[in-house]
Amino acid sequence: MCFNSLFFLFFFMLINFFFLVYFIMNGLSVFFEWENVTFNSMSIVMSILLDWMSLLFMMFVSLISSVVIFYSKSYMNSELNLNRFIILVLMFVFSMVLLIISPNLISILLGWDGLGLISYCLVIYYQNLKSYNAGMLTALSNRIGDVMILMVICWVMNYGSWNYIFYFDFMKNDYVMFIISFMIIIAAMTKSAQIPFSSWLPAAMAAPTPVSALVHSSTLVTAGVYLLIRFNYLLIDMFFFKVLLFLSILTMFMSGISANYEFDLKKIIALSTLSQLGLMMSILSLGFPDIAFFHLLTHSMFKALLFMCAGVIIHMMNDIQDIRYMGGLSLYIPLTSLCLNISNLSLCGIPFLSGFYSKDLILEMVSFNSFNLMVFILFYLSTGLTVFYTFRLIMYVMINDFNLMMIYNLYDEDYIMLNSMFVLLFMSLLSGSFLSWFIFSYPYMIYLPFNLKLMVIYVSILGSILGFMVSNMSIYSLNKLLMSYNLSSFLCLMWFMPNLSTYGLSYIYLNFSQILFKNIDMGWSEIYSGKGIFNILKNYSVFYNVYQMNNFKIYLFSFILYFMILFIFFFI
Amino acid sequence: MSFAPELRSHSQKVCNFYKRAMRTLEAYHVARYVIRYHQVILRNELDKNKAVCDPKEHRRLLRVAENELFMSQHPIPVAKFARSVGIAGGVAYDRVQVIPDWVMDYWHPLEKAHYPEYFKRRECRKCEYIKKWNDGEIR
């Protein structure tokens, strides 16, 4: 099953690539419409839009999913139900492709809902309590976005059809479009885990690592960004985009800080994904959808690679994900640590790797255009924090001493996992330059002062120095400095937002519902129906049972009663 | 037992506290020699009160120590064995659920009809098992 799906998806990727090259060379864009039913003025059509953006995204999604399926053949080797897993992953890819190619809100809803539900099934794949809770959190957060899309469908019915791409030019200042844009932004925020919906992404790391590599780094979380890129032409002058800018910058900053206090390997990578999603959303809300798309694609490559390396390490450490027990792994797993290093450095934006092209372009555009000072500061601060937690991770995992046990045998000779990682390594080295030639037909002209141009380098150097200092293992080390309990628990538990959005929202209502349940469901409504009626009937039948006990007194009494009645009728 | 502290002796409570304090130190520090350094200091603090005889003083010291441990606990406790439960437990606890055998008795007859040989053999095995149990061969 693994090999079949691998070959199918790889072949699909190649087809997309050829069509992409052809479409971009000739400036083509194809819109298929299949008319299902037409009756008088009502028609139900299914439409597919194939332009360079959808073909490019489909190519990347199919490449990553084929590599991840091949990887999971070895990673999930001990699973009894591997076929079930592969089928779930294939269904997920199908939903994502449906979302990508649809210019029609109904088929977007099908893809969007499919993504949410299948990601729930994938998160609860390991059936322990933690996965169940994480899956519930994922599903319910995504469900809010689904409800928003449903309401958008209702509102778009005002225009007569669900093909939203036709209405951007004509209905831009309409009140209905105002409401639609608000709901679309909320839906995208739930899917891409912006504040206040950001609690599900670190929790969803309870899923198996191939799921995290495919779903939580490259496809599911980028669906929200992709939706906003498609709707960008409509949303660009709206006030809500400024609110989105504010929230996405805060998300970027918050997740950057939380990743520095976190010790679970997959949670650190999840928080770095959250930070990059905040970056994508913020540059999108500043009015540059093509740069956001560029960063989406390069990020998906190196983040999937990073998750796969983390999977190899977790396998090797006997399922332990805590970086406090890892160290010195570069000596034992050189090839995996090569992939880990390159993806980490690409994440930091080190020159001429793939992340550099997109991240540097984003930061230069922020500097070049005159935005708010807070926007500027938070962008560069978050970039510095990215480098900080990346170097901290490299120090903990690769450079410091091994900390788990006295005797160990660490190796990464699993060729299936290594081969799948090398494909993504190749792409994460080259996709930056390759995409910058593809997507941008002319380069952005950016003029910056010398120090502002080098600001990224300054911030990266500062972040790397701090990352090095914090992970030094001395007796009185720097990481005790900011470890006062209140501050550290505030910062590492994501500013308590997961607690606020789970316990905070549900506690009052659950308490109230307990009172209602005990008093009404199990109280008064049992007395006036259910058990109460049963008791009445039972008591009556017990009472009347006396008359069936062959009691002689009853016969005598009925004899006397009969004579009294006779006497009354005939003599009175 | 956490549900009936009155049933545990003072030394049991102190040992439990000591273990939790050691785990907290392991959570804060990473290198082995750093952990050992802080553990030796902690042990010295406990050894200073080794010779106290008054039970009231015992209870007061334990209360103060538990309070200090609570105020300095790590937000992300460390777990060495991923598949264990409890303090040593971690992310991989209870991942694989074993479905009990009696679930197959509740299958619909139409579902059972897909595997007739297996269910026939299963009924024989069940009868054999009951016979062996009654004879006392298995407990």
Residues of A in contact with B98 (CB under 8 A): none
What's the burial of A155, exposed, middle or buried (CB within 10 Å: 0-12/13-18/19+)? Answer: middle
**pLDDT value at residue A79:** 85
Phi and psi of A371, rounded to 5°? -100, 180
**pLDDT value at residue A482:** 55
Residue A41's Cβ-side half-sphere holds a number of Cα atoms within 13 Å equal to: 2
Structure tokens at B116: 């007739």
Preceding amide of A202 cis, omega within 30: no
**pLDDT value at residue B75:** 83
pLDDT greater than 70 at residue B1: no
Mutate to test the interface with A, among B67, B70, B95 (most CBs of A within 10 A): B95
Nearest to A208 by CA among A319, A336, A297: A319
Are A279 and A381 in contact by the 8 Å Cβ rule? The answer is no
Q: What letter would DSSP give residue A405?
A: -
Residues of A in contact with B95 (CB under 8 A): 126-128, 131
Residues of A in contact with B73 (CB under 8 A): 485
Are B75 and A488 a contacting pair at CB < 8 A?
A: yes
Nearest to A482 by CA among A263, A257, A187, A161: A257
User: Which positions in chain B have a beta carbon within 8 angstroms of at least one beta carbon in chain A?
Assistant: 26-32, 34, 37-38, 71-73, 75-76, 78-83, 90-97
SS3 category, A226: helix
Residue A173's Cβ-side half-sphere holds a number of Cα atoms within 13 Å equal to: 0
Separation between Cα atoms, residue A28 and residue A20, nearest integer Å: 9
- Domains of chain B, residue spans: 10-71, 101-135
This prediction's pTM: 0.89
* Closest CA of chain A from B43, distance in Å: 17
Separation between Cα atoms, residue B8 and residue A559, nearest integer Å: 75
Separation between Cα atoms, residue A401 and residue A372, nearest integer Å: 44
Q: How do A42-50 and A30-39 pair as beta strands?
A: antiparallel
Structure tokens at B78: 């460390």
Residues of A in contact with B32 (CB under 8 A): 401, 403
Are B90 and A321 a contacting pair at CB < 8 A?
A: yes
Are A129 and B97 a contacting pair at CB < 8 A?
A: no
* Closest CA of chain A from B124, distance in Å: 27
Are A348 and A281 in contact by the 8 Å Cβ rule? The answer is no
3-state secondary structure A434-465: HHHHHHCCCCCCCCCCHHHHCHHHHHHHHHHH
- C-beta atoms surrounding A137 within 10 Å: 22
Are A440 and A364 in contact by the 8 Å Cβ rule? The answer is no
Mutate to test the interface with B, among A323, A473, A481 (most CBs of B within 10 A): A473
**pLDDT value at residue A555:** 87
Which of A261, A325, A480 is closest, CB to CB, to B80?
A325
- For A113, the enclosing helix (H) or strand (E) is helix A105-123
Residue A247's Cβ-side half-sphere holds a number of Cα atoms within 13 Å equal to: 18
Encode pLDDT of B19-29 as tens digits. Answer: 999 999 999 88
SS3 category, A276: helix
Separation between Cα atoms, residue A494 and residue A254, nearest integer Å: 7
- Domains of chain A, residue spans: 141-472, 523-571
**pLDDT value at residue A17:** 94
Q: Which residues, in sequence order, are CB contacts of A111 under 8 Å at separation 6+?
A: A95, A96, A97, A98, A99, A100, A102, A223
In sequence order, what DSSP letters do the residues of A457-511 get, joined into one string?
Answer: HHHHHHHHHHHHHHT---TT-GGGTT--HHHHHHHHTGGGHHHIIIIIHHHHHHH
Are B90 and A319 a contacting pair at CB < 8 A?
A: yes
Separation between Cα atoms, residue A485 and residue B70, nearest integer Å: 10
Separation between Cα atoms, residue A140 and residue A132, nearest integer Å: 12
**pLDDT value at residue A548:** 81
Structure tokens at A228: 């906003």
pLDDT greater than 70 at residue B5: yes
Average of pLDDT values for B122-129?
Answer: 95
Nearest to A227 by CA among A311, A334, A115, A326: A115
Q: Which residues, in sequence order, are CB contacts of A493 under 8 Å at separation 6+?
A: A258, A499, B75
**pLDDT value at residue A400:** 87
Are B30 and A126 a contacting pair at CB < 8 A?
A: no
**pLDDT value at residue A162:** 84
Which of A206, A319, A492 is closest, CB to CB, to B82?
A319
Strands (E), A246-351: none
Separation between Cα atoms, residue A55 and residue A32, nearest integer Å: 14
**pLDDT value at residue A49:** 93
Averaged over successive runs of 10 residues, the pLDDT of chain A (572 residues) comes to 89 94 92 87 85 94 95 90 93 96 92 96 92 93 95 88 79 82 94 92 94 92 94 82 92 94 94 96 92 95 96 91 90 93 95 92 91 91 95 92 82 87 93 90 88 92 90 65 70 85 87 94 91 93 85 88 93 78
Are B30 and A483 a contacting pair at CB < 8 A?
A: no
pLDDT greater than 80 at residue B89: no
Separation between Cα atoms, residue A32 and residue A49, nearest integer Å: 6
Separation between Cα atoms, residue A289 and residue A65, nearest integer Å: 24
Please report the number of interchain residue pairs, chain A to chain B, with beta-carbon separation below 8 angstroms.
78
Structure tokens at A348: 């930091």
Nearest to A162 by CA among A229, A111, A106, A233: A106
